[in-house]
Chain A
Amino acid sequence: MASSSTPLETGAQGHAHNPNLQHHFYSMSQQLEASTLGMWVFLVTEIMFFGGMFMAYIVYRITYPEAWVLGSHHLNVGLGALNTGVLICSSLTMALAVRSAQVSSRKGQIVNLILTIVFGATFLVVKFFEYKEKFEHHLVPGPHFDMTLPDAGQQQLFFSLYFMLTGVHAAHMIVGIGLMLVILTMAIRGRFSSEYYTPVEISGLYWHFVDIVWIFLFPLLYLLGAHLAAHGG
């Protein structure tokens, strides 16, 4: 058997195999299960990846609680909450996109994937304006950081983690949008149906995970000391 691209016959049922079945799997079901498990194992690595940064956040938060509150007060709660809402909307449309593929609705896939991409892009645009504001207020750590702020050194630690956490998160969003564009192209070409929708499902898992990270980032970064009367501005 020199050729490696000819699919083999499937197992017990002996019915015609799906052209999307890869040769080393014996059924579409096994392929979907393996792919889902694979994506979840990958998401576990992402949990640990972000986890390292959360560890640094925790250590410094318990060491410098006042500086952490001061830093948090510089963040725009409204925009953070808006972005949280935007991502939750995108998770809904993502789930609906997967569902559309499961019920072979090509139109549903296209509409929901486009909406997901739009929400994702909105998130990034808002982030861009937030970053721009930080830059203008000299809150970017490094030589231009506003050293007249109270606990300036420790606030630099806060903002370093802010930029790293949200920056790595934004990078994941960009990858996610790229992924969705690929899935959208395939959906437009009618590649997915109830017979085969694995790529949509596992891309959806990735997208939801990126949403979950933000669900934790929002209160941990934006809402510290929100109950305190004094605000940094």
Chain B
Amino acid sequence: MSDVAHTQDSYLGPPYGLGAWLLTKDHKRIAILYLISITIFFAVGAMFAAGIRLELLTPKGDLWTSDTYNKLFTLHGVVMIFFFLVPSIPAVLGNFLLPIMIGAKDLAFPRINLLSWYIYIAGAIITLTAVFTGGLDTGWTFYVPYSTLSSHTAVTTAAVGVFITGFSSILTGLNFIVTVHRMRAPGMTWFRLPLFVWAMYATSLQMILGTPVIAITVLLVAAERFLHLGFFDPSLGGDPVLFQHLFWFYSHPAVYIMVLPGMGVISELVAAVSRKQVFGYSFVAFSSLAIALIGFLVWGHHLFVSSQSIYAGLVFSILTMLVAIPSAVKTFNWTATMYKGAVTWDSSVYWVIGFLGLFTIGGLTGLFLAAMGMDIHLSDSYFVIAHFHYIMVGGSLMAYLGGLHFWWPKMTGRMFNDTLAKASAVLVFIGFNLTFFPQFVLGYMGMPRRYHAYPDEFQVLNVLSTAGAGVLAVGYLLPAFYLTYSLFKGAKAPANPWGAKGLEWTVPSPPPTFNFESDPVVNEPAYNYNPGREVHVG
């Protein structure tokens, strides 16, 4: 791609060719491989969503059969969670930026980094095979005994695909943990690290400790289905609730795996757009660790109505309320950072403000669900769907897009059209609220999730929701165009287009293969925008 701006030395320069990219050990190139892959899977997941929203325009189930509809929402979930959200920020932005932010030449294990991408692709191919050899209709949650004993879809194939993909996550997390511990540049103490690095570290802890459990769980499902072993079969005395415990032990931390990186991105953007250090740096850093820890203690809130004991429900309910606190700390601190900051109104701010509003709503509605009594009414309703989409899409995806824009000049060496970026952020915000706010109301009014037909009185809100999805789609398509356009026609980016602090802004855009001309030594705190006038830790 000789049109792409780079010096002879940049990571985009020689060696050229498919082989050089597919066998690369450079963390930056691997990040680009992931970027292309997850974008494709986002499109796939979005198509399944389109199928869902089109069906829900009318109260009757008249577009798809119920079997097909079951496959649509299942695959929407599986693809979006495992093949888009979980890898997105860590594998793209984390892979690209983490070594540079800490002053290292690469991650600790570059070959394992490449292996994690190949494992992701292998898992993706196998899961796509499941799509074409019978589909999957169990819900992304694979609940037993339906998935093991009754479903006539390609459950075993999909379970194997998810099993394999999990190892991609595990290897990424492993790499990040060792890198942050062992490869920081001289002077880069823990409390001088960018908060993005703290977030990546906390995410990696969750990846390491949680993913193996879902791996063995889907393996048990596959073994029960394929080898006729019995683990959850009620006729043998097996307990389907045991599956739910094992499944959610990972899948709840998984939602933090999906949102913590977004929070890390927002910390970086907030500091840069406010030209201020992040308010309460150490509180934000520790809150990432707190979310990582407490996030492992709350999974039972997915089992409130499963016949889990009431006592356990009480314990999980209290712990779930506790986990909201560190997230709230972050939200307050980001807001306090922007207060009286010298805010520059380029597109990054739009993504930040969008995140702050939507994540707050998503987080607060989580508290509704944490209260066991409310959850009995709201469980398995559209309220839950709205809640998690506010966090995952309003939060994580918005943060991912914000980060992609913010670091785009660094990664590609090109500037993009900022006006279009602002338009995109606004369209996404409007479209998102139009799509998902009605779903809170629908859920509260009693519309169940995963149904393709509904009572007539719910139609107006459903139509609004589908219309919103259309606006959202436009908002997401725009960056695909103007970002790609920028690769060919965008202005060449300077090393530090936003005037931000951080080691990544001290290297050229795009960076050279080994990141730094000479080994960096760090002697200032993070976000040192106003030296002498602000109190810093580190």
List chain A positions with a Cβ less than 8 A from chain B. Answer: 1-2, 4, 22-26, 30, 33-34, 37-38, 41-42, 44-53, 55-56, 59-60, 63-64, 67, 141-143, 153-154, 156-157, 160-161, 163-164, 168
Contact = CB atoms under 8 A, between A and B. Distances in A.
Contacts of A63: 237, 239
Nearest to B224: A160
26 contacts: A1-B9, A2-B513, A4-B514, A23-B105, A24-B107, A24-B183, A34-B108, A34-B178, A37-B177, A37-B178, A37-B181, A44-B209, A45-B211, A49-B216, A52-B217, A52-B220, A60-B239, A63-B239, A143-B228, A154-B236, A157-B231, A160-B230, A164-B223, A164-B229, A164-B231, A168-B219
A67 B227 CA distance: 21
Given A38-B175, A49-B216, 14 more contacts: A1-B512, A1-B513, A2-B9, A4-B513, A24-B104, A30-B182, A44-B208, A45-B208, A50-B216, A51-B216, A52-B212, A141-B228, A153-B230, A154-B237
Name the residue among B99, B178, B219, B224 with the largest chain A CB count within 10 angstroms.
Answer: B178
Contact of B235 (A26, A44, A153): A153
A42 B174 contact: yes
Contacts of A52: 212-213, 215-217, 220, 246, 249
A49 to B, nearest CB: 4
Interface of B: 8-9, 13-15, 25-26, 99, 104-110, 112, 170, 174-175, 177-178, 181-183, 208-213, 215-217, 219-220, 223-224, 227-231, 235-239, 242, 245-246, 249, 512-514, 519
Contact of A41 (B99, B208, B210): B208
Contacts of A156: 230, 236
A153 B514 contact: no
Contacts of A45: 170, 174, 208-209, 211-212
A33 B513 contact: no
8 closest A-B pairs by CB = A142-B228, A52-B216, A160-B229, A153-B236, A49-B212, A48-B212, A24-B106, A24-B105
A33 B178 CA distance: 9
B512 A33 contact: no
Contact of B13 (A2, A30, A67, A154): A2
Contacts of A153: 230, 235-237
Contacts of A50: 216
A161 B110 contact: no
B389 to A, nearest CB: 29
A48 B223 contact: no
A41 B178 contact: yes
B213 A49 contact: yes
B345 to A, nearest CB: 39
Nearest to B243: A56
A49 B217 CA distance: 9
Nearest to B519: A26
A52 B245 CA distance: 10
B246 to A, nearest CB: 5
B514 A157 contact: no
Nearest to B179: A34
A59 B239 contact: yes
A170 B56 CA distance: 49
Given A41-B178, A46-B212, A56 B236 contact: no
B209 A48 contact: yes
A127 B15 CA distance: 50
Contacts of A41: 174, 177-178, 208
Given A2-B15, A142-B228, A33 B242 contact: no
A143 B236 CA distance: 13
B174 A24 contact: no
A161 B13 CA distance: 53
B237 A33 contact: no
A212 to B, nearest CB: 16
A44 B207 CA distance: 11
A146 B8 CA distance: 71
A154 B104 CA distance: 55
B114 to A, nearest CB: 13
B108 A49 contact: no
Nearest to A144: B228
B25 A164 contact: no
Contacts of A37: 177-178, 181-182
Contact of B109 (A2, A38, A56, A168): A38
A64 B237 CA distance: 9
A34 B514 CA distance: 19
B395 to A, nearest CB: 27
Contacts of B175: 38
A48 B213 contact: yes
B183 A34 contact: yes
Contacts of B213: 48-49, 51-52
Name the residue among A34, A45, A143 with the largest chain B CB count within 10 angstroms.
Answer: A45
Contacts of B246: 52, 55-56
Contacts of A22: 110
Contacts of B170: 42, 45
Contacts of B212: 45-49, 51-52
A137 B219 CA distance: 26
B323 to A, nearest CB: 20
A208 B378 CA distance: 48
A143 B182 CA distance: 53
A55 B244 CA distance: 12
Nearest to A48: B212
A33 B182 contact: yes
Nearest to B232: A56
Contacts of B178: 34, 37-38, 41
A48 B210 contact: yes
A37 B181 CA distance: 9
Nearest to B237: A154
Contacts of B519: 26
Name the residue among B177, B212, B227 with the largest chain A CB count within 10 angstroms.
Answer: B212
B13 A142 contact: no
B25 A56 contact: no
Contacts of B174: 38, 41-42, 45
A141 B216 contact: no
Contacts of B107: 24
A4 B114 CA distance: 15
A23 B107 CA distance: 11
A22 B216 CA distance: 34
Contacts of B231: 56, 157, 160-161, 164
